[in-house]
Structures are given as C-alpha cells and as structure tokens.
Amino acid sequence: MKKQMSFSTKGNRADLGSLAIQRMLPNRHTNIVGPFVFLDYVVPAIKETINKNGMGAHPHRGIATLTYILQGEVEHTDSAGNNGKIYSGGAQWMKAGNGIIHDENFNYDSQTDSKYIHGFQFWINLPAKNKAEKPAHISVQANEVPQKILPDKSGWLKVLVGNYEELNSKIPNYSRLFLYHIHLEAGKQFLIQMENKLEVAAFLITDNVMLNETTFQKNEFVEFDRNAGEIEIKSTSEGSADIILFGGEEYTDPIVAEGPFVMNNQAEIIDAYRDFYAGKYGKIIQATKI
C-alpha cells in the first residue's frame, strides 16, 4: 500500500543577509516532522566574493543543528572551541545541548571553480534527557557520507542521518530518525518502504519528480500520513531528479520553542535566556583558519 500525502507547501521567505532562504519548517500545516523542528532551504545563488565575517554569532540550547551544503562551503566556529569547514556535498552537525554560541560562514567552494551556494539547515529536537548534555560538533566531508548505487543504476541514495540497509551515518542519533538525499536519473524510479507511525516528509530540490503518481514542483515540501506504506519516487523523462526524504518517530515530550531555544517547558526557556545573558554559554574566541 502506498502512503498518502497529507499536504504540500512552498514555505515562506526568510532571507538572512545575502542568502536567499525559503523556510519550509515550521509551516502553516505543521511544526515538526519526527524530531525535526526547523528546515531552512538555502536557494541556489551565485556568490562572487568571500565573506570573512560569518552570518552572526548566536546561541542555541536543546537541539542539534545539521547543515548540508550541496554547493559551496561552510565554516563553523563555536564557544566550545570547535571549528570545522565542509565543502560541496558535506554536512556538519552541532549538538547545542545545555547551551552554545556558534557562527557559520557560507561561501562558494574554494576547492572548485563553482561560485554557487546551495544547501539546507535542519534543527533536530533532542529528547528531554539529552538536552542538558555538553555540546559537541562533527564535520562530515562529501566522501564520508554513506552512499549506495540504486538497483538498475537508476541513481543513488546518501544517508546524512540514520541508516538505510547496510549504510550508517556517523552523525549521532538520539531517537529513530533518518535523512536521505535521493538522486534519480531521467526516466528512472525507486520504491522505499516506510514503517508504521513514522512521520515522513520530502523536499523536492528539482522539478521532474513524481511521488506516488502525483507530480510536484521543485522547492515543494510534502508530508505523508503516518501509516506504514511505500513511497514511489519517479523521475520524468525530461531530466534527473533530486529529493530530500526525512523524518522519524513521533517526538512525545512537550515542546516549547522560542527564538534559538527548543525546550520542554516555559521555565526551561526562561533558564536558557537567563544562562545566555549570564555568559554561561561561553564566547567565541577566534575562528581557527583552516
């Protein structure tokens, strides 16, 4: 049985400095998919100059951030002393835990001739028991992202978070969740089975995509029902197709989100702000040049 679509949306503009941003989650239909509480899509753009100042240091608590850069490079620095730089196809994960200040710097890929910037940032809500843990950071380069060729050479699947068959991401999980990038060649298709009670959504990077016989446009966000079932992804004959498929088990703890903090009650939000203004998150001393 094929899964049914619950809704689709194109999100809202939420530009950040020179970056054109489409905010896909939360949206007018839902605030969460599994543990994913936030999704910003960095719309493809040409960047001619290198920005050395970052996007602006800011705090987080209670979540993990995940940046996946399709094209370009992203440099990370934070108040726990972590630094890292990823290039096209790479991802970086930061557990904010009990509080951190970080900054990210989006630029074109200095390793290639491409001037494009294109990617995603997700926020993954931590279970209540993990929100008080110490911050952590992991950089994953493109060649470290688990990938497999799909049957009949129809395309490939990358595992950014979670697992698929024999593939396992090096990014930690604190609940049952997944984040895949699926690429299909023109005219090809791929069938994936989803378990019961999993919350599942897709983001279409390109046109030329059909999901369970329904055609969607690029930059469209689609959520499915929670019943077990199949998702059939087809690339039309006009060209290849790319989608992000993500989700996980229902987040059952209470959720209170305000600004950069996602906690389980209002008292914890107050504490998050109080600790930030008291300087308990530390400060970014200086980004290491890498």
Query: How many whole angstroms separate alpha carbon 241 and alpha carbon 235?
Result: 5
Please name the fold of domain 5-277: Jelly Rolls (2.60.120)
Three-state SS across 37-84?
A: EEEEEEEEEECCCCCCCCCCCEEEECEEEEEEEEECEEEEEECCCCEE
pLDDT confidence of residue 290? 39
Amino acid at 22: Q
Q: Where are the domains of the chain?
A: 5-277
3-state per-residue secondary structure call for 164-212: ECCEECCCCCCCCEEEEEEEECCCCEEEEEECCCEEEEEEECCCCEEEC
Per-residue pLDDT of the chain (290 residues; tens, 9 = 90+): 899 999 999 989 988 877 899 999 999 999 999 999 999 999 998 877 666 777 789 999 999 999 999 999 999 999 999 999 999 999 999 999 999 999 999 998 988 878 899 999 999 999 999 999 999 999 999 999 999 999 999 999 999 999 999 999 999 999 999 999 999 999 999 999 999 999 999 999 999 899 999 999 999 999 999 999 999 999 987 889 999 999 999 999 999 999 999 999 999 999 999 999 999 999 998 644 43
- Beta strands across the sheet bearing 63-71: 12-13, 21-25, 36-46, 116-125, 63-71, 91-95, 136-140
